């Protein structure tokens, strides 16, 4: 278990918080590309506890500004996009995508234009979404993970919407290998029936293992029939499983956006021209969709819906001081230890793991091909296996 102080250190994401400072070293998707249109050129965004407005001006440039106007605090989400930027609907203060004040109606105030800066963050379009970086400059690059940059296939996006709990609850689930055979027993049996609902299919597992690699944690299941299942948690907010990356975007301390990028390889390995990914919005996982536990009823209609139940019913922020961990929870313990180590690196002025600054960095292999084709086993890039650190038992 963690102390209350350690739990705060790992979960809070606002400006100046330890985990918030760590998470600000990475790019995060904040909106679907299709969310900005000529008819609706602004969108409210909440990321890492900050209220922001994403907009596209009449020149097609996209910006991300603090939502509250520097003049009187009205929301810029209701501003009017112009040739040079975004004008506040209240008094017309005009900002460009870099947050510079260009005009200050009703009078021109040169002192304000010279000295006032609206907070602004880098934003770029990537795999059908707009991504933002809220950390210190210069910004790193978005890592070239295979599922995001390979050209021999097509991509589509699944929007699972807002999840009403802290981001870390979902990420701990990603290294909680034991839950699959119990929580999801209705969906993984392939015609088999479990011995009982208490054990589910847990007796099919011979062993679990967790391996730290430069981009995260690879979790490995060995089944009693010899089959091996292996896929990574990509630090700090992504699970790569099957042909998809599940991205958990921390909106604030008690909500995150759950969005997936799926990849479908071409059968013959041929390249596919660049395309705008199609978007599918998932069915709500609870009823009413916006209600909170215990006033919502979870549908449990899918693996994802079951996961959402398990995450949200731990509470807005799980009270880890009251938990009782066992041997099967060692992946969770490893992730927490890794998070604390990377927070310390940031506090020392160093880049945390997975931050890439080389724009020509080679594609990062996450074993997508091996898993998609049913070939199980380690296929880490050259050198990673040697660097891997096996989790202590």
100-139 per-position pLDDT tens digit:
999 999 999 999 999 999 999 999 999 999 999 999 999 9
User: How does the average pLDDT of the chain come out, rounded?
Assistant: 93
* Tokens of residue 205, six digits: 């597992």
- Three-state SS at 112: helix
User: Which DSSP helix (H) or strand (E) runs through 387?
Assistant: helix 384-387
Check whether 386 has a pLDDT greater than 80.
no
Tens digits of residue pLDDT in 194-251:
999 999 999 999 999 999 999 999 999 999 999 999 999 999 999 999 999 999 999 9
Q: Say how far apart CA 86 and CA 297 lie, in whole Å.
A: 41
Sequence-ordered list of residues with C-beta below 8 angstroms from that of 164, at least 6 positions apart, any chain: 254, 255, 292, 293, 312, 316
- The whole-number average pLDDT for the span 55-69 is 98
User: Which DSSP helix (H) or strand (E) runs through 343?
Assistant: helix 330-347
* Tokens of residue 267, six digits: 């059968």
Check whether 371 has a pLDDT greater than 70.
no
For residues 228 and 242, is the Cβ–Cβ distance under 8 A?
Answer: no
Check whether 167 has a pLDDT greater than 80.
yes
Predicted confidence at residue 385, as pLDDT, reads: 33
CB count within 10 Å of CB 89 equals 15
Give the CATH superfamily of 28-132.
Rieske [2Fe-2S] iron-sulphur domain (2.102.10.10)
CA-CA-CA-CA torsion for 103, 108, 114, 120, nearest 10 degrees? -20
Predicted confidence at residue 380, as pLDDT, reads: 35
Tens digits of residue pLDDT in 286-303:
999 999 999 999 999 999
Q: Say how far apart CA 357 and CA 71 lie, in whole Å.
A: 36
User: CATH class for domain 146-390?
Assistant: alpha beta
**Domain definitions of the chain by residue range:** 28-132, 146-390
Tens digits of residue pLDDT in 335-365:
999 999 999 999 999 999 999 999 999 999 9
Q: Among candidates 212, 214, 219, which has minimal Cα distance to 176?
A: 219
Check whether 61 has a pLDDT greater than 60.
yes
Q: Among candidates 32, 36, 25, which has minimal Cα distance to 257?
A: 32
Check whether 388 has a pLDDT greater than 90.
no
Predicted confidence at residue 370, as pLDDT, reads: 53
For residues 338 and 168, is the Cβ–Cβ distance under 8 A?
Answer: no
- Three-state SS at 301: coil
Tens digits of residue pLDDT in 301-316:
999 999 999 999 999 9
- Three-state SS at 312: helix
- Tell me which DSSP letter residue 2 carries: -
Residue 358 preceded by cis peptide, ω within 30: no
């Amino acid at each position: 278990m963690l102390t209350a102080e350690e739990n705060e250190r790992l979960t809070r994401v606002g400006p100046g918080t330890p985990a918030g400072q760590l998470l600000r070293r990475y790019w995060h998707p904040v909106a679907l590309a299709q969310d900005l249109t000529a008819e609706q050129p602004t969108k409210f965004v909440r990321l890492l506890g900050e209220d922001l407005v994403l907009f596209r001006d009449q020149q097609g440039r996209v910006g991300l500004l603090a939502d509250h106007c520097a003049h009187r605090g009205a929301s810029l989400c209701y501003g009017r996009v112009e040739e040079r930027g975004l004008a506040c609907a209240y008094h017309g203060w005009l900002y460009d995508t870099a947050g510079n004040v260009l005009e200050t109606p009703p009078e021109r105030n040169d002192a304000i234009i010279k000295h006032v800066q609206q907070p602004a963050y880098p934003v770029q379009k990537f795999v059908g979404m707009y991504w933002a970086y809220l950390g210190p400059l210069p910004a790193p690059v978005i890592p070239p993970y295979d599922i995001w940059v390979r050209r021999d296939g097509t991509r589509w996006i699944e929007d699972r919407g807002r999840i009403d709990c802290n981001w870390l609850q979902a990420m701990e689930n990603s290294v909680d290998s034991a839950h699959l055979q119990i929580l999801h027993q209705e969906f993984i049996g392939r015609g088999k029936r479990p011995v009982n609902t208490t054990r589910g299919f847990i007796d099919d597992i011979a062993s679990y293992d967790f391996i730290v690699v430069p981009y995260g944690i690879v979790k490995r299941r060995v089944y009693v029939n010899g089959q091996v299942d292996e896929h990574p948690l990509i630090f700090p907010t992504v699970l790569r499983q099957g042909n998809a990356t599940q991205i958990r975007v921390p909106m604030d301390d008690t909500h995150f956006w759950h969005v997936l990028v799926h990849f479908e390889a071409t059968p013959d390995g041929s390249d596919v021209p660049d395309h705008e990914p199609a978007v599918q919005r998932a069915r709500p996982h609870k009823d009413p969709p916006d209600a909170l536990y215990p006033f919502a009823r979870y549908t449990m209609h899918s693996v994802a819906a079951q996961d959402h139940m398990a995450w949200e019913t731990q509470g807005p922020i799980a009270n880890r001081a009251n938990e009782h961990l066992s041997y099967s929870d060692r992946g969770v313990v490893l992730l927490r230890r890794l998070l604390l180590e990377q927070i310390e690196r940031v506090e020392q002025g160093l880049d945390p793991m997975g931050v890439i600054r080389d724009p020509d960095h080679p594609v990062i292999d996450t074993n997508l091909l091996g898993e998609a084709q049913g070939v199980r086993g380690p296929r880490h890039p050259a050198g990673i296996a040697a660097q891997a650190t096996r989790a202590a038992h």
